[in-house]
Structure 1
Amino acid sequence: MSLKLISAALLAATLSTAAFAEDMAFKVTDSYARSASANAQTGAAFITLMNMSGKDDRLISAASPAAKRVELHTHIENDGIMRMVHVEEGFPVEAGEMIEMQRGGKHVMMMGLNGALEQGAMVPVTLTFEKAGAMEVMVPVDLERMPKSGHGMMKQGAGHGKASDS
């Protein structure tokens, strides 16, 4: 393991801990970001959120200086074709529950990247919750990470749209 990667991992752990230590509303674990290629205009961040607040809440938006536009997305299947859609109302996170953003499912979509997402780099992402407010997390770029499940590959012809519910 390279020194750069170890340093990035330690920084991520420190910053993630700091992000939720002050306000134990949400705990962030298992986060990473990736893009399709060095010249990609889009990338995605995948984050696991645990609601520690004791109150139901909703992740309503995300932002990052790494991209011109950032949206909350998920995938839906229609006639055997997976399609990525913007979830305008966000993702509910019930008290004591967690949501796992992962490839082929919920994720933070970054469009119009301002630069390449390079292995080992850190991407600042601000998550905004309906009740808990804004929370900044540092997401490590891991271009080699494999999906947890067989999901994550979209059939050709998949496109963007809007979802009415998560």
Structure 2
Amino acid sequence: MATLFMSSLLIASPAAAHDFSVGDIAVGHPWSRLAPANAPVIGGYLTLTNTGSQPDTLVGGSATIAERVEIHEMRIEDGVARMRPLPAGQEIAPGATVELQPGGTHLMFINPERAFSEGERFEVTLEFANAGEVAVEFVVQRNPGGNAGQEDEHGGHAP
């Protein structure tokens, strides 16, 4: 009689049309802003929900479309927008939802291989400290509620 044995196998599956999950983490609607040609960075946004009883942390990611993927935080301090990387990642408390959004914590795709058109999709692998890795698909969208001259808050940011 044959015995099946599975050890630490992480299965990532689409939860809905544009939602993904791995372990106790649900990833909702990954999207990227339409960026100008030759932009040195592109912002990435999504929601992360921890359905488990233990905290988890988004610690990084990778993408074939960019040199590297970083987690950044943007804050207004004394009336000045300041951006800084979060090398320790973004924690998601048990039962909490964290939004990575324009003007706050977000992903940054450093040195993208090319400009992307509205509606295009690209794959990014997200890495969580406990849940492991999950491949998600980002869709390129215009700046919701913004104007054409401000498609990406990172337009003048050097990597």
TM-score (norm 1): 0.73
Give the share of equivalent positions with the same residue, in percent.
29
On the 8 A contact 1:83/1:159 being kept in 2, the answer is: no
Listed as ranges, the matches of 1:75-154 within 5 Å are 75-146=74-145
Distance apart, 1:36 and its partner CA: 3.0
* Amino acid paired to 1:136: A
More strand by share: 2
Q: Provide the residue aligned with 2:61 in structure 1.
A: 62
Distance apart, 1:135 and its partner CA: 1.1
Q: Provide the residue aligned with 2:40 in structure 1.
A: 41
* Amino acid paired to 2:125: T
Distance apart, 1:160 and its partner CA: 7.4
Q: Provide the residue aligned with 2:49 in structure 1.
A: 50
Cα deviations across residues 20-70 of structure 1 (Å, max 9, x unaligned)? 2xx442112232101431332210110111112222111111211111121
User: What is the rounded CA distance, in whole Å, between the counterparts of 2:67 and 2:34 in structure 1?
Assistant: 15
On the 8 A contact 1:32/1:142 being kept in 2, the answer is: yes
Q: Unaligned 5+ residue runs, structure 2?
A: 1-13
Over the residues paired in the alignment, what is the CA RMSD in angstroms?
2.7
User: What is the rounded CA distance, in whole Å, between the counterparts of 1:60 and 1:137 in structure 2?
Assistant: 15
CA 1:12–1:125 in 2, change beyond 3 Å: closer, same or farther? farther
Q: Unaligned 5+ residue runs, structure 1?
A: 1-10, 162-166
* Amino acid paired to 1:47: L
4+ runs deviating over 4 angstroms = 158-161
User: What is the rounded CA distance, in whole Å, between the counterparts of 2:142 and 2:110 in structure 1?
Assistant: 17
Residue 141 of structure 1: SS of its match in structure 2?
A: strand
On the 8 A contact 2:30/2:46 being kept in 1, the answer is: yes
* Amino acid paired to 2:51: M
User: What is the rounded CA distance, in whole Å, between the counterparts of 1:143 and 1:35 in structure 2?
Assistant: 5
User: What is the rounded CA distance, in whole Å, between the counterparts of 2:107 and 2:59 in structure 1?
Assistant: 11
User: What is the rounded CA distance, in whole Å, between the counterparts of 2:23 and 2:90 in structure 1?
Assistant: 19
CA 1:37–1:104 in 2, change beyond 3 Å: closer, same or farther? same
